[in-house]
Amino acid sequence: MLPLGPAGAGHSPYSGHSAFAGSPLLLSPERLRDQGLLTEAELSERPRFPEERVDFERALPWKHGLLRKAFARFLVAGPEFQAHFQGFRSAPQQSAWLEDWTLYSALKARHGGASWTDWPEPLRRREPQALEDARRELRDEIDFHAFAQFLFFQQWEALHNAAREKDVAIFGDAPIYVALDSADVWAHPELFDLDEQLRPRAVSGVPPDYFSETGQLWGNPLYRWQRMSEDGFAWWTTRLRANLRVADIVRIDHFRAFASYWAVPAGEKTAVRGRWIKAPGRALFRAVREALGDVAIVAEDLGHITPDVGRLLALTQFPRMKVLQFAFSKLDDPFLPHHYDRNCVVYTGTHDNDTTRGWWATLNDTDRRRVLDYVGGDPAAPEWGLIRVAYESVAERAVVPMQDLLGFGSEARMNTPSMPSGNWGWRARREHFAPELASRVRRLSELSGRCD
C-alpha cells in the first residue's frame, strides 16, 4: 500500500499533512450509508468521474460534502454511536497526534487552506492564548475533523480484520520525511531543522541518480536528530507504532537517510548543491527495538548506497529491496536474482518506476535480448517474465504492482519522480479483477512456494 495519510502538494502521499492521520478521501460512502449517516439519494448525486484516473479536483469537494452531511446526522445520533466516538478521541493510540491534527485542520480551513507558515504569528508560534482561543472558536470544526478520523480508522480496522480472517497481511509504507505544511512540523517545530522564522534551513532530496540528472528536490524539512535523541526518539517510536497499527509490515522509504542524508540549502532550485550529513540510525533503531520489540520493517535501500548504509542494514537485519527493472543494465548486476539472499524483497518495479510494459518499450534490442535471455517469457507480455523470476527467486517476499499484473503500459504509471503534477491518479476498475487473473497468480504462487 502507498501511505494512507492526507496527501499534500500534487496529491502526493509522500508529502502528507500528517504522519498519523488517515486520508478522508479513502472513506467509503457506501459504508456511511449502511451506518445511516448518508442516504441513497445523496450517493446517487455523485458527479461523473473518469474511469481510469482519479479526478482529485472533483472527488475532494464531493467527498468533503458527504462527510459534512454525515457529521450533521452523527450529531443527532444515539448515545452508543457517540460513546464510540468519544472512546476513539480519548484512546491512548490517538493521544500523541489527534488533538494537534484536528486543530491544525480547523485552522487551515479558517485560513483558506494556507500553510501554517503563513498564519498569524501567534498561531504560527503556538502561543498558548492563541491556541486556547482557537480551540474555543473552532470547536465544531475540530469535532468534524476528529469525526473524519474516527470514521477512517473504523473503516480501516474493518478492512484489516477482514484481511486477517483470510490470512492476508497488509504491507504498508512510511515516508521518511513529513511535509513542512503538516500538523507534525507545526506542533513540534523543535524536532525539525528550522530557523528563527520557522523556515527550513535546508531541505530533503537526493543527488543526481537514475531518475533525474539534477537529483530530486523533495523540499521536506530535515530532522533535528540531536534533539530527537534527547527523549529516546519518542516521536519516531510513536510514529512507527502507529504505522504498525494499520499495517502488518512497513516499508520505510529512503532508508539510507538514517545513515546519512542529503541536505540541500533552502532556496536551491535543484538538488545538485547538497551535502551528506551523518544521521544516528544505530541509536534510533536501538531505541525502536527497545520500545516496540522486533518490528516487521523493510528498508527501501535504493539509490546511492555507501558503506555506512550497509553497516546499518547489517545491524538492523531489515530486509532490503531488489528491483528487477534495474537488473539488466549489465551482465552481472547485483539486482539479478541469482545474487539474492533470502533477507530481501523483490519488486518488478515500484511506484516510482514506469510499469514493466512501459519500461520494456524504452529498451533497445540489445537490452531486450538480455532480459529475455535471463527471464524467458513472451516479448509481447514482458511483465510476466519478470513476475515469474520474482516469484521463483529466494527473496523472502515478492511484490508486483497491480499495473504489471494487469499488463498496462505507461498510461498507468503511478509516479514520475521530479514531476510536480499528473501523478498518483491511476485507478483500477472493478472489472480488472478477473477470476482468470486470480487463478494465474494463484498457480504461480503454488509453483514457487509462495502460498499454502
The burial class, CB within 10 Å (0-12 / 13-18 / 19+), for 401 is buried
Measured distance CA(73)–CA(431) in Å, rounded: 34
Of the candidates 350, 144, 398, 132, which has an alpha carbon nearest to the alpha carbon of residue 253? 350
The terminus-to-terminus CA distance of the chain in angstroms comes to 23
Distance of CA 133 to the CA centre of its chain: 34
Sign of CA dihedral 206, 211, 213, 218: negative
Of the candidates 13, 9, 40, 34, which has an alpha carbon nearest to the alpha carbon of residue 25? 13
- Which grid coordinates belong to 243? 504505522
- Which grid coordinates belong to 388? 515469474
**Residue 230: CB partners within 8 Å, gap ≥ 6?**
none
Which residues are part of the catalytic machinery? Answer: 253, 300, 352
Measured distance CA(262)–CA(254) in Å, rounded: 11
Burial 145-164 (b: 16+ CB within 10 A, else e): bbbbbbbbbebbeeebeeee
**Residue 195: CB partners within 8 Å, gap ≥ 6?**
201
Pairing of strands 249-252, 297-299: parallel
Strands (E), 342-401: 344-347, 397-399
- Which grid coordinates belong to 371? 532480459
Q: What angle do CA 4, 434, 401 make, to 5 degrees?
A: 40
Bridge partners of residue 262, in order along the sequence: 205, 276
Pairing of strands 297-299, 397-399: unpaired
Measured distance CA(135)–CA(152) in Å, rounded: 23
> Contact, 381 vs 407, CB < 8 A?
yes
Measured distance CA(408)–CA(115) in Å, rounded: 37
The burial class, CB within 10 Å (0-12 / 13-18 / 19+), for 269 is exposed
